[in-house]
Every structure is written in structure tokens, then in C-alpha cells.
Amino acid sequence: MRALIIAAGNGTRMQPVTRGQHKSLMPLLGLKIIERVILGAREAKIREFVIVVGYRGIQLKKYIGNGERYGVRVTYVENKNWHKPNGISVLLAKKYFKENFVLLMSDHVFDPSTLKKLQRLKLKKYECALAVDRNLKSSLDILDTTKVMVKKGKVTNIGKNIESYNAFDTGMFFCTPHIFKVLEKTTSIGKNSLTNGMNVFVKRGNLRIFNNKDKFWADCDTYKDIKFAEKKLLASLTKSADGSISKLFNRKISTFMTKFLIHTPLTPNIISFIIPFLAIFTFFILAIGSYPWLLIGALMIQFLSIVDGIDGEMSRLKFMGTKWGKWIDPILDRYVDAIIIAGMAYGYWNITGNNFILPIAIFVILADILQDYMSSKFVAITGVKLITSDIPFKRDTRLLLLALGTITNQILIAFIVFILISQYKVVNRFIAAKLITEKQVSSRIQQV
Amino acid sequence: MRALIIAAGNGTRMQPVTRGQHKSLMPLLGLKIIERVILGAREAKIREFVIVVGYRGIQLKKYIGNGERYGVRVTYVENKNWHKPNGISVLLAKKYFKENFVLLMSDHVFDPSTLKKLQRLKLKKYECALAVDRNLKSSLDILDTTKVMVKKGKVTNIGKNIESYNAFDTGMFFCTPHIFKVLEKTTSIGKNSLTNGMNVFVKRGNLRIFNNKDKFWADCDTYKDIKFAEKKLLASLTKSADGSISKLFNRKISTFMTKFLIHTPLTPNIISFIIPFLAIFTFFILAIGSYPWLLIGALMIQFLSIVDGIDGEMSRLKFMGTKWGKWIDPILDRYVDAIIIAGMAYGYWNITGNNFILPIAIFVILADILQDYMSSKFVAITGVKLITSDIPFKRDTRLLLLALGTITNQILIAFIVFILISQYKVVNRFIAAKLITEKQVSSRIQQV
């Protein structure tokens, strides 16, 4: 799949802050806006790009180059009439697109998952598709946003100044090459904008929509837009798989920290490896076992729970996510957990002298690791996920329980509760796994 | 894929011990011989069987039934001339086989993996294939074994009485329907055995071989044969993935125990769940911390290491292996490990009062679980195995180290060695995983 990015315009409204830079070279959380467009599309498996440049095009070409350092191939098309509307830019790239392609704006950033799905639509020869956002609070600057009226999966009206609308244009199109024929006609009669072209599709009922569904997107026309995009982008870092303590509390703080760390030379992997050292520091505080150290230790446990999100957030923000990072992160988490549990147990023993804590602590760390071990092992053996409907006891909850046990000086009770909840979950999973594997077998027999 | 099993003969040489039973209904380690044939083929994904019965055919039909309880479909063909050679039995089943099929003997048991591969051969229209064993020590009764001369992947001579040979006939054929045409011709001139038919293929250079390569197989013609098969079958339970302590020592004892347990109503899963209770018993012995309990504790640790093999052996022996069992076994192993480590640490503390053992013990259990957790997690995330070329530190070695530490009263040292070896392996895997995932990414880019 190829993508066409139009980046010729001069971005008048951004000029007060660009200081002579191309608008899409403005930074947005550690990356230039255009880099977010390219890397976002790359994550949606697009590897070939044509960028139409005009105003300060040399600057843009110099910065992006042939795309090699992004792992993609970039070709440039020059639009000397960049001061005219953007339909002309699209038309200039005609010769590069003989098949369906993705059309993107250099100033519209987005969540790759939308683009991934958008390009899977089966378009008919004369159709185009537009990703729209039906949440009318998703745009900051209503006046400058292209609005869309959607009825039954088709766009019935589009434009910045239409009166009734129920969605916003997110700037992501999936096009058939038919768009060039349409633009040839419209530009020949002086209607030079992409919206003019799209209106031809609209009139024939050929502009389909794809619902962006609360995924991140932002149009960056002004400095205010960029700040708004920053906020939305940080908020989008919360994962649907996050536990509720993480969603409600941890992510708010970790994304705040990420916002600053993203501008440092620290990479996500370095952060992953720093955290266990913070845990060792926590161990020595917890090992004292008495107030006020218990209070500090508890805060440190919660802090370790919070910073656990940062490496993932940074790698998603910078499109640096690797399978290695995804693998190493939970392993290092287990180290951190073990260090915390060891510190708590040692501190408890230090004060009470009760050596019953020793086997208990060993079962806490066993229970802790089993949570993810059982799931991963199940995937490795059966190829499917082990889905159970029992109480959530993710890492955010587990560490909160340990922090609460520490702060209230009830470490033994916290450990026992930890083990009981985990064991309940283990039994639950034994049963769920049995049902899933038996279903697999019987469905395989039926296939035969 | 369908299979034809010929079971019409009267098995004269077995009669002293059959007590009126059909020969293939003789037991072999907890299953009847014919059940081993059917379940072995089932494991090689064969679900439809035609069995040619004759002598005591009603008995056999009554026992096996329609195959439902084996998860297969069985159809019977009656051979009233069962006293004549076995080529006639094959010919009688002609109408059931319009496509390539597997031909098995009711008294030849085998390793399913051979059959799995045999049926993947691409046969030409006039060919047949025979699985052979080139290890000339693999048969007990040379006189009664069908011998084969193999040259360049083809059989050049076959028969019980040929003079020069370099392989044995294992009784597993993969046939084209052409075999029926050949048998029609040979039986019409009074040459009624399967070997007569095969000789026609041999003469035309159309009998290919498949090398059984040291996998288990046995021909059960006499009581002595069955005892020999028992021995070979038990020896075949050692897995190639086993650690060397397991191969050299543990398996010898565990298969000996399995041989007896297979005749009890205990299922593999019940055994899996009994073992942790033995571990709890071991905990209390280890927790005392002094001689002679250390000696008993050490022996118990090694015993737990040995019995770990039994559930797997029983499930393989009885074809009861399930993905659930494969998943639950390592999880319960982690419980056993944790209980042993807790017992050792507690005993050490009990005697020395050195509470430094507490954090150490927690890192031993962490290190123990990480071994398999890291591998499984890697498979779950990347879809490929994490292969490293570092020192082996499988469960058999780990438990031996713990047993040695206990018996020599050097628990702390054993724990520290345990952690050091594990950490060395963890670092090694971090590096190996990085290389593997980077290769994956670059090969994916090249594909694009």
C-alpha cells in the first residue's frame, strides 16, 4: 500500500510560532508532526510514500530525506502552485498511483489503528472513503474543521461551512485512482480544492465513511491546536487492557512524567532497566520495617507502579515499540515485584522476628509471577488466549495492595490476602483452561 | 486420511497365553495391542479405520465397537478365509479406498510420529511406501521378522527368508489404490500374501521406503515379543528435550514406576495434582533444618524431580496427552519448586538464625520461574522459540543442585549458585532475544 501526503501549503495560521520552519516540522511530543504522519502510517504497514511539497519544500525534503531512517521509501513531487488550493497537489501525484492508496494531510496526526482498518475497506471502482470522527467534541477549532454529514455510511455533505453536520473529517482518505479523473474535471473549471473533488463523490453517493471511534486524531493548524493535540495524544496512551487503578490514577501521573522525559535522550529500554534499581533502593527502605520508613516505602511501591507505564508510553509515543521491549518489560517487572516483596518481608521480620513470613513471602512472589506465567504459557501451548471472567488482579492492583499493607503496617495480612486472591484466580483459570482446551479438541474432531 | 488394519489371522504363536482372546487384544502397558494401533494412528490425525477381521472377529468387534470411545470411526470387513495369507484381507477392503491410505498390521505397534511423516510422502500412481527400521538390533525374533533390502530409497528385496538385508519391515505402509490391482493379479495365481503383492512393486522399483529412525515400533507375535515391546516402549518415553540428569537417571526410575502405575486407576492429571502434596510433606522435613532430616529432605527433593516425569509418561503411554495437561504440569512444578525452596530456607533460618536467607530465597524462586516464563512469554509475543546456546539449567539440574545443597548442609551456597547460573542465563537470553527480534524485523522489511 502506498500513501500520498500533501504538504505544500504555507500554514499561515501557524506562522507566528514556526520561526521560518515548515508547519509540519513543528514538534509534537518529541517528534515532528510530519514524522508522526509517516511513522503512524508505517505502523499501519505502509512503506512507500509520495509527498507533495511546495512552500519551504526544500526544508522538508532535507529533514525527511529518502525515508530510510524511518524504514520507508519517500518520493517527492513539487507543487509550484502551492498557494492554490490542495486539490492541485493531489492531482500532481497522479502518475504514482495506479492502485488504491491512502491520502493523508501533513498536518493531521492520527492513531495507526484507524489507518490499518481504513485501508482494508473493499472499495468499488468509483468510490472513496473518509475516516470521520462522530464525537463533535473532538475538535478544538470548530470554525476551521472540515465538517461532514453522514447518512447510512455515506457522506451526504462535506465542507468547512456546511450548516448541519454530525461528524468531522479526520484527514485520512482511502482512495481509488478514480479521484484523479474527478480532480482533473473539477480543477479544469477552477474548483481547485480536495473538498471540491470530494463533493463530486458525495453527489454520486460514492464517498463512504470509516468510523474513527474515539481513537486519537488531531488537526494541527495553530499553536493552540498543537497543545490540544499533545493533551489528546497523552490521554490516548492509556491502554484498554489497563487495570482500573492504572486508568484512574497511575496513567495520569505517568503520562505527565512521560511528557517531560520524551524530550530527554532516555530511551524506553533504558527506562525499563533503570526501574529495577529504584526498586533496590526501595528494598533498603522497606527492610527497616518501622515508621516513618514504612510510609516512604509504601509511597515508593506506588511510585514504582506508576513509572512502570512510562517505558511503554514513550515507546508508543515515539513509535519505538519492539517485540523485545514488549517481552523484556514484564520480565523486569517480575524483578521489581520480587525486590519489593523481599523488602517488605525482611522489614516485617526485622521488627516482629516472626519467621513465618518467609514461606509466605515465597508464595507471594510465586502467586505474583503465576498471573502472567499462566496466561503466556497458555498462549504458547494452545495458540489462543486464556480468557477468564474472574476478578481483576493486575499489577496495578497487586502493587496497591502491597503499598496499603506497608502503609498500615499490616504486611502479613496484605501477603495473605494477596495469596488468597491469586489462588482463587489460579483455580478459576484451571477450570477455564480445561473448558477452552476441551472445546478446541471437540471442534477439531468435528472438522475431521 | 483413512487407515486399513488387517486383523484376521489367528496368531498361532501367541495362543499359549491368549486364553481364547484375539491376539491383538493382549494387553501392552495398560492398553490392548489393537488399541495402541488405533490410538497411535489417531495421534497421526487418522480418524477413519477399516478393520479386516476373521479369527475371533466378533470378539474384536465387540471390544472396539464403532470406534466412538477412541474418537474415530471404525468399519469392519469380514474375511472368512482368515486362515489364508493376509493379501486376501487387504483385497477384501478394496471398495473403501479410492485414495491413498495407510495400511497397518493389528499386531505392529509404533510411534505416531513415524506414521505422521509416512503419510506425507508424495506417491506416484503406481508406488507404495514402507516404513523400515535400519537398526538391525530392533527386532527380537529375527526368524519371524520380515526383512528388507534397501538401495537408494527403494526396496530391492523383501521377505522373511531373504539372505541379505539391511532393514526390517515395521508393518506400516502408505499405499496408492493401485495395490488392489496388484493383489487381484497375484491372488489370482495363488500368491496370496501381502509380501507377494509387495514383490510386484519391488520388481518395478515402485516400493519406496521411509526411515523409522530409532523411533519405537514392535511386532507382537509371541508373549516374549510383548515383553520386549514393553521394554522398548518404556525406553521410548525419554524425551529428546530432557536434561541429561533426567535422561541418565530420573527416567530410568520414573518409567519403572510408570510401568506399575499404568495398571492403577490413577490418571496422569491426578498424579500431577498429588505431587504438590508430596512437596508439602517435604517442606516440613526440610523445615527442621538439621540431620538426619536434611538427608531425608534431599532424597525427597530428588524423588520429586523423578516423579515429575510420571504424569507425562503415563499420558503418552495411554495417548491421554491434552494441551491442558501440558499446560498445568509446569505450573504445578512451580508450586513444588516454591515449596521446596521455602522449606530449605526455613530450615536454614531455623538452625542458623541468619535472616539474609529470606531475600535470597525469594530470588531463587524468581530465578526458577523465570527460566520457563521467559521462554513462554517469548513464544507468546513473537510466535517463535527463544533458542539460546548457553549452559543447560533445566529442572532436573536445578532440583539436583538444591538436593546437593541440602544433603551437604550448604543451603545458602546452593541458593547463591542457583541465582548466579540463572542470572547468567537471563542476560544471555536478553541478548539472544534482541538478536532474534531484530532479525525478524529486518526480514519483514525486506519482504516489503
Residue B106 has pLDDT above 80, yes or no: yes
Burial, B432: exposed, middle or buried (Cβ in 10 Å; 0-12, 13-18, 19+)? middle
Span A264-281, average pLDDT = 93
Q: pLDDT-based confidence at A14, cuts 50/70/90?
A: low
- Cβ count within 10 A of residue B442: 11
β-bridge pairing B128-133 and B207-211: parallel
Cβ <8 Å between B327 and A448: no
Q: pLDDT-based confidence at B392, cuts 50/70/90?
A: confident
Tens digit of each residue's pLDDT (9 = 90 or more) over A165-210: 999 999 999 999 999 999 999 999 989 999 999 999 999 999 999 9
Task: Name the minimum distance, in Å, from the CA of A347 to any CA of chain B.
Answer: 11
Q: For A433, which of B283, B324, B378 is closest by C-beta distance? A: B324
Q: What is the 3-state secondary structure (H, E, C) of chain A?
A: CEEEEEECCCCHHHHHHHCCCCHHHCEECCEEHHHHHHHHHHHCCCCEEEEEEECEHHHHHHHHCCCHHHCCEEEEEECCCCCCCCHHHHHHCHHHCCCCEEEEECCEEECHHHHHHHCCCCCCCCCEEEEEECCCCCCCCHHHCCEEEEECCEEEEEECCCCCCCEEEEEEEEECCHHHHHHHHHHHCCCCCHHHHHHHHHHCCCEEEEECCCCCEEECCCHHHHHHHHHHHHHCCCCCCCCHHHHHHHHHHHHHHHHHHCCCCCCHHHHHHHHHHHHHHHHHHHHHCCCCHHHHHHHHHHHHHHHHHHHHHHHHHCCCCCHHHHHHHHHHHHHHHHHHHHHHHHHHHHHHCCCCHHHHHHHHHHHHHHHHHHHHHHHHHHCCCCCCCCCCCCHHHHHHHHHHHHHCCCHHHHHHHHHHHHHHHHHHHHHHHHHHHHHHHHHHHHHC
Tens digit of each residue's pLDDT (9 = 90 or more) over A112-125: 999 999 999 999 99
Cell of A305: 507502579
Q: Which residues of chain B does CATH 1.20.120.1760 include? A: 237-447
Tens digit of each residue's pLDDT (9 = 90 or more) over A372-413: 999 999 999 998 998 887 788 999 999 999 999 999 999 999
Cell of A32: 515532528
CA–CA dist B50, A220 (Å, integer): 72
Residue in chain A lying closest to B273 (CA): A430
β-bridge pairing B2-7 and B48-53: parallel
pLDDT of residue B387: 86
Residues sharing a CB contact under 8 Å with residue A127, sequence separation 6 or more, in sequence order: A176, A178, A201, A206, A207, A208
Cell of B200: 510386484
Helix, strand, coil percent content, chain B, rounded in steps of 5: 55, 15, 30
Average pLDDT, chain B: 90
Residue B448 has pLDDT above 50, yes or no: no
Q: pLDDT-based confidence at B444, cuts 50/70/90?
A: low
Better pLDDT: B7 or B445: B7
Q: pLDDT-based confidence at B84, cuts 50/70/90?
A: confident
Residue in chain B lying closest to A429 (CA): B328
pLDDT of residue A241: 81
Q: For B361, which of A358, A375, A381 is closest by C-beta distance? A: A358
Task: Name the minimum distance, in Å, from the CA of B304 to any CA of chain A.
Answer: 19
pLDDT of residue A448: 42
Task: Name the minimum distance, in Å, from the CA of A54 to any CA of chain B.
Answer: 29
Q: Which residues of chain B does CATH 3.90.550.10 include? A: 2-233
Instruction: Determine contact, residues B342/A358, Cβ cutoff 8 Å.
Output: yes
Q: For A381, which of B327, B434, B448 is closest by C-beta distance? A: B327
Q: pLDDT-based confidence at A442, cuts 50/70/90?
A: low
Average pLDDT, chain A: 91
Residue in chain A lying closest to B385 (CA): A380
Taking CB atoms within 8 Å and a gap of at least 24, the contacts of B260-265 are B261/B310, B261/B314, B262/B29, B262/B30, B262/B314, B262/B317, B262/B318, B263/B30
Lowest mean pLDDT among B144-153, B237-246, B416-425: B237-246
User: Whose CA is closest to A34, among A104, A96, A101, A106?
Assistant: A106
Q: Which residue of A270, A327, A364, A423 to mutate against B (max B Cβ within 10 Å)?
A: A327
Tens digit of each residue's pLDDT (9 = 90 or more) over A425-440: 999 999 999 999 888 7
Residue A59 has pLDDT above 70, yes or no: yes
Q: Choose the most confident range, by mean pLDDT, from A319-333, B4-18, B412-426.
A: B412-426
Task: Provide, as residue numbers in chain A, all residues whose Cβ is less than 8 Å from the Cβ of B380.
Answer: 375-377, 379-380
Span A286-305, average pLDDT = 94
Q: Is some CB atom of chain B closer than 8 A to the CB atom of A280?
A: no
Sign for the CA dihedral angle at A194, A195, A196, A197 comes to: positive
Tens digit of each residue's pLDDT (9 = 90 or more) over B86-95: 899 999 999 9
CA–CA dist A318, A39 (Å, integer): 9
Task: Provide, as residue numbers in chain B, all residues whose Cβ is less than 8 Å from the Cβ of A346.
Answer: 355, 358-359
User: Whose CA is closest to B209, among B147, B150, B159, B168?
Assistant: B150
Query: Regarding the domain delimited by B237-447, which CATH topology (the fold level of the hierarchy) does it fall under?
Result: Four Helix Bundle (Hemerythrin (Met), subunit A) (1.20.120)
CA–CA dist A338, B42 (Å, integer): 45
Q: pLDDT-based confidence at B442, cuts 50/70/90?
A: low
pLDDT of residue A337: 96
Residue A281 has pLDDT above 70, yes or no: yes
Task: Provide, as residue numbers in chain A, all residues whose Cβ is less than 8 Å from the Cβ of B441.
Answer: 322-323
CA–CA dist B340, B336 (Å, integer): 6
Residue in chain A lying closest to B384 (CA): A380
β-bridge pairing A31-32 and B167-175: unpaired
Residue-wise over B173-198: b if at least 16 C-beta within 10 A, else e? Answer: bbbbebbbebbeebbeeebbbbbbbb
Burial, B142: exposed, middle or buried (Cβ in 10 Å; 0-12, 13-18, 19+)? exposed
Residue B447 has pLDDT above 60, yes or no: no
Residue in chain B lying closest to A337 (CA): B366
pLDDT of residue B310: 92
Residue B406 has pLDDT above 90, yes or no: yes
Q: Is some CB atom of chain B closer than 8 A to the CB atom of A50?
A: no
The secondary structure of residue B146, as a DSSP letter, is P
Instruction: Determine contact, residues B97/B165, Cβ cutoff 8 Å.
Output: no
Q: Is some CB atom of chain A closer than 8 A to the CB atom of B357?
A: yes
Tens digit of each residue's pLDDT (9 = 90 or more) over B109-122: 999 999 999 999 99
| Class at the top of the CATH hierarchy for domain B2-233 | alpha beta
Alpha helices in B1-105 (DSSP H): 15-18, 33-43, 57-64, 87-92
CA–CA dist A47, B1 (Å, integer): 44
pLDDT of residue B55: 86
CA A342 to chain CA centroid, Å, is: 34
DSSP helix/strand/coil, B54 = strand
pLDDT of residue B394: 92
Max intra-chain CA distance, chain A: 90
Tens digit of each residue's pLDDT (9 = 90 or more) over A18-52: 677 888 899 999 899 999 999 999 999 999 999 99
Q: Which residue of B366, B370, B445 to mutate against A (max A Cβ within 10 Å)?
A: B366
Sign for the CA dihedral angle at B284, B287, B291, B295 comes to: positive
Residues 388-447 of A with CB under 8 A from B: 426, 430, 433-434, 437-438, 440-441, 445
Residues 163-202 of B with CB under 8 A from A: none
Q: Measured at the alpha carbon of residue B402, what is the angle toward residues B401 and B405, in degrees to the nearest 5? A: 85
Cβ <8 Å between B358 and A357: yes
Tens digit of each residue's pLDDT (9 = 90 or more) over A227-240: 999 999 998 888 87
Tens digit of each residue's pLDDT (9 = 90 or more) over B327-360: 999 999 999 999 999 999 999 999 998 889 999 9
pLDDT of residue A286: 96
Task: Name the minimum distance, in Å, from the CA of B382 to any CA of chain A.
Answer: 7
Cβ <8 Å between B358 and A370: no
CATH homologous superfamily, domain A2-222:
Spore Coat Polysaccharide Biosynthesis Protein SpsA; Chain A (3.90.550.10)
Span B199-208, average pLDDT = 93
Better pLDDT: B413 or B9: B413
User: Whose CA is closest to B79, among B7, B14, B11?
Assistant: B7
Residues 233-272 of A with CB under 8 A from B: none
Tens digit of each residue's pLDDT (9 = 90 or more) over A61-89: 999 999 998 999 999 999 998 888 889 99
Residue B291 has pLDDT above 90, yes or no: no
pLDDT of residue A443: 64
Length in residues, chain A = 448
Length in residues, chain B = 448
Span B255-266, average pLDDT = 92
Q: Which residues of chain A does CATH 3.90.550.10 include? A: 2-222
Rounded alpha-carbon distances, angstroms, from residue B49 to A90, A442, B28, B52, B217: 65, 19, 21, 10, 20
Q: For A330, which of B345, B349, B377 is closest by C-beta distance? A: B377
Q: pLDDT-based confidence at A96, cuts 50/70/90?
A: very high
Task: Name the minimum distance, in Å, from the CA of A422 to any CA of chain B.
Answer: 13
CA–CA dist A380, A88 (Å, integer): 52
Cβ <8 Å between A341 and B357: no
Cell of A343: 523488602
Task: Name the minimum distance, in Å, from the CA of B2 to any CA of chain A.
Answer: 11
Rounded alpha-carbon distances, angstroms, from residue B226 to A37, A392, B11: 71, 54, 13
pLDDT of residue B20: 73
Q: For B365, which of A349, A366, A438 is closest by C-beta distance? A: A366
Cβ <8 Å between A365 and B362: yes
Residue in chain A lying closest to B335 (CA): A366
Cell 508522526 sits on residue? A36
Span A336-356, average pLDDT = 94
pLDDT of residue A447: 47
Query: Angle, nearest 10°, between helix axes A395-407 and A323-352?
Result: 20
Cβ contacts from A onto B, under 8 A: 152
Instruction: State the ipTM, two decimals.
Output: 0.86
Task: Name the minimum distance, in Å, from the CA of A302 to any CA of chain B.
Answer: 21
- Cβ count within 10 A of residue A121: 15
